[in-house]
């Protein structure tokens, strides 16, 4: 199972870093994270709306004034201006602040766990994409394909790197076959989530889980050791039950006047996908056909920039029911917890396994 990569730098170079105190490196990593977080805020706003992520410079959504450097300092600009636009006084969402704080903290947490290693680099990029997926799914009930393809590519790159440095953790043996761990992880995780999606469709006669979640699980399978990924999924279910249950109770309490049965029971306005189509699509995700389509679309829109093939979210308006809560954010949260708390999560699992099997 894929574990830590070896440190990328020689011992000689490593020694020079002893001059810098550990808290100082941690602070620098945190600041880098906060800066990446402010870029993620741009992605979170523009990706689901089909807007270019580079072209217009950042501007206030209210008065359209182009923002200057002093308005774009992560965390500090927001606090200094008390969450308001400097030019028109319009309120700015707290999301901008939380995304920067969360990204900075997670970058620091990953550095703390994996130290000065290639894994830290791979995992901070992974965490950045996960944070973007978290907030986009929360707001729009979708995870952009670009994010899932990026994470998948990252996982494949990590596996290739482990192979290149002859790390035994690059491989897993399945029934006598020596296979790249990312391939096995992707197949197992896709199969589990596609099964849940199809079963949900059969049992509840509506789309219980979107394919964005299946693709997210596939990417997670390429990035993490399989046992850790599976524990993260179990954690996501537990987290979803606790937080989702609390949210539903809270919402029901908040709106006692609304006719609850019709609101809870009625299916979303979008009709569920036919079963055969779901099975075919599961197969396509399993063999990464969607990645090829995504790349093809990307190349085509690069060649003819006028006609963008990006589908704006408004095209398929999804009105969530009262109990419809995206599952993606729970997967993201549990994955990040597993990534940073890796040894604790694994030892907790081992303790549980010993207890469950009654062994010593």
Cβ proximity to Zn ion, 94 vs 352, nearer residue:
94
Nearer to Zn ion, 53 or 88 (CB): 88
Interface stretch with Zn ion, choices 59-67, 114-122, 232-240, 279-287 (CB under 5 A) = 59-67
Q: Output the smallest distance, CB 82 to Zn ion, in A.
A: 14
**CA separation for the pair 167, 4 (Å, rounded):** 9
CB of 71 to Zn ion, least distance (A): 10
Nearer to Zn ion, 87 or 116 (CB): 87
Contact predicate 80/94, CB 8 Å:
no
Q: How many CB atoms lie within 10 A of CB 55?
A: 7
Q: How far apart are CA 131 and CA 119, in angstroms?
A: 18
CB of 92 to Zn ion, least distance (A): 9
Total binding residues toward Zn ion, as defined by CB under 5 A: 7
Question: In the structure encoding, which two tokens stand for residue 330, read together?
Answer: 């729970």
Q: How far is the CB of 34 from Zn ion (least distance, A)?
A: 22
Residue 60 binds to Zn ion (criterion: CB under 5 A): yes
Q: Provide the minimum distance between the beta carbon of 44 and Zn ion in the complex, in angstroms, as a whole number.
A: 19
Q: Between 36 and 85, whose beta carbon lies closer to Zn ion? A: 85
Confirm if 340 and 110 have CB atoms less than 8 A apart. yes
Taking the C-alpha atoms of residue 78 and residue 67, their distance in angstroms, rounded to an integer, is: 13
* Torsion of the alpha carbons at 337, 168, 180 and 148, rounded to the nearest 10: 30
Length of the chain: 360
Stretch that binds Zn ion, among 56-64, 116-124, 258-266, 293-301 (CB under 5 A): 56-64
User: Least distance (Å) from Zn ion to the CB of residue 346?
Assistant: 48
Cα Rg of the chain, angstroms: 22
Q: Are 129 and 150 in contact (CB under 8 A)?
A: yes
Query: Shortest Cβ distance from residue 99 to Zn ion (Å)?
Result: 19
Phi-psi region of 141 (alpha: psi -120 to 50; beta: other; left: phi over 0): left
Tell me the angle at which helices 226-254 and 328-340 cross, rounded to the nearest 10 degrees.
130
Draw the binding track, 233-272, toward Zn ion (x: CB under 5 A; -: no contact): ----------------------------------------
**From 27, 63, 199, 351, residue interacting with Zn ion (rule: CB under 5 A):** 63
Query: CA-based diameter of the chain, in Å?
Result: 70
Q: Is 324 helix (H, G, I), strand (E, B) or coil?
A: coil
> Residue 121's closest CA among 160, 167, 154?
154
Q: Which of residues 169-198 bind Zn ion (CB under 5 A)?
A: none
Please identify which residue in the block is written with the tokens 């994010």: 147
Distance CA(103)–CA(37), nearest Å, equals 5
The correct pick among 62, 117, 167, 169 for binding Zn ion (CB under 5 A) is 62
DSSP alpha helices (H): ranges in 224-270?
Answer: 226-254, 260-265
Contact 338, 345 (CB under 8 A): yes
Of 61-69, 101-109, 245-253, 316-324, the segment contacting Zn ion by CB under 5 A is 61-69
Of the listed pieces 46-54, 55-63, 73-81, 275-283, which binds Zn ion according to CB under 5 A? 55-63
Binding mask 70-109 for Zn ion (x = CB under 5 A): ---------------x-xx-x-------------------
x/- letters, 114..153, toward Zn ion (CB under 5 A): ----------------------------------------
Give least dist CB 153 to Zn ion, A. Answer: 37
Q: Which is nearer to Zn ion, 63 or 249 (CB)?
A: 63
Cα 243 to Cα 186: distance, rounded to the nearest angstrom: 27
Give, for 157, the enclosing helix (H) or strand (E): helix 145-164
Q: In terms of CB distance, is 38 or 159 closer to Zn ion?
A: 38
Q: How far is the CB of 47 from Zn ion (least distance, A)?
A: 22
Binding site for Zn ion (CB under 5 A): 60, 62-63, 85, 87-88, 90
């Amino acid at each position: 199972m894929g574990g830590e990569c070896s440190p990328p730098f020689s011992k000689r170079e490593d020694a020079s870093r002893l001059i810098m105190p550990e808290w100082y490196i941690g602070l620098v990593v945190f600041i880098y994270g906060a800066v990446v977080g402010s870029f993620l805020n741009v992605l979170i706003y523009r990706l689901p709306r089909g807007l270019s992520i580079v072209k217009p410079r950042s501007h206030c959504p209210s008065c359209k004034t182009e923002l200057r450097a002093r308005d774009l300092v992560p965390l500090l600009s927001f606090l200094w201006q008390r969450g308001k636009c400097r030019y028109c006084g319009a309120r700015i969402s707290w999301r901008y602040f939380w995304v920067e704080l969360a990204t900075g903290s997670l970058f620091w947490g990953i550095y703390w766990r994996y130290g000065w290693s290639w894994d830290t680099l791979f995992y901070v990029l992974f965490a950045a994409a996960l944070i973007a997926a978290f907030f986009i799914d929360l707001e729009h009930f979708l995870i952009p394909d670009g994010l899932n393809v990026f994470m998948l590519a990252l996982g494949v790159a990590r596996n290739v790197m482990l192979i290149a440095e002859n790390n035994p953790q690059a491989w897993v043996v399945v029934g006598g076959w020596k296979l790249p761990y990312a391939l096995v992880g992707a197949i197992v995780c896709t199969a589990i989530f596609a099964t849940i999606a199809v079963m949900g469709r059969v049992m509840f006669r509506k789309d219980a889980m979107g394919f964005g979640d299946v693709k997210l699980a596939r990417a997670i399978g390429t990035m993490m050791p399989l046992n850790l990924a599976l524990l993260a999924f179990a954690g996501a279910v537990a987290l979803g039950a606790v937080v989702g249950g609390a949210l539903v109770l809270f919402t029901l309490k908040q709106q006692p006047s609304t006719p609850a049965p019709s609101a809870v029971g009625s299916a979303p306005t979008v009709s569920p996908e036919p079963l055969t189509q779901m099975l075919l699509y599961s197969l396509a995700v399993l063999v990464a056909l969607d990645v090829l389509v995504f790349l093809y679309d990307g190349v085509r829109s690069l060649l003819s920039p006028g006609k963008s093939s990006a589908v704006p979210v408004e095209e398929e308006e999804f009105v969530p029911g009262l109990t419809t809560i995206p599952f993606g954010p729970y997967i993201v949260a549990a994955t990040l917890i597993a990534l940073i708390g890796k040894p604790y999560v694994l030892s907790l699992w081992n303790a549980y396994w010993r207890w469950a099997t009654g062994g010593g």
